[in-house]
């Protein structure tokens, strides 16, 4: 488990340039590698949240 970080276009291996007004910006392409990166970061975030819940002994009732 590592400290979560905000994901940006630089975290993804495959990007493409798209027009943004008079400028161009880089966005992640819809590739398998990028999806795996996104899933790995999501899973890490879930681990961090679960660890925080265990340390704080929070019992969340999702039925209400």
Chain segment 20-54, per-residue pLDDT in tens: 999 999 999 999 999 999 999 999 999 999 998 88
Higher pLDDT, residue 43 or 5 = 43
pLDDT of residue 11: 93
**DSSP H or E segment with residue 20:** strand 15-20
38 CB burial (10 A radius; 0-12, 13-18, 19+): middle
CB 8 within 8 A of CB 38: no
Tokens of 62: 């999702």
Determine contact, residues 13/37, Cβ cutoff 8 Å.
Answer: yes
Look at residue 64 and tell me whether its pLDDT is greater than 70. no
Q: What is the pTM of this model?
A: 0.75
Residue pair 29/16 in contact (Cβ under 8 Å)? The answer is: yes
């Amino acid at each position: 488990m590592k400290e979560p970080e905000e994901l940006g276009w630089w975290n993804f291996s495959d990007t493409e340039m798209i027009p943004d007004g008079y400028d161009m910006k880089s966005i992640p392409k819809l590739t398998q590698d990028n999806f795996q990166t996104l899933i790995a970061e999501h899973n890490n975030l879930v681990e961090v949240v679960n660890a925080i819940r265990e340390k704080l002994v929070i019992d969340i009732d999702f039925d209400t």
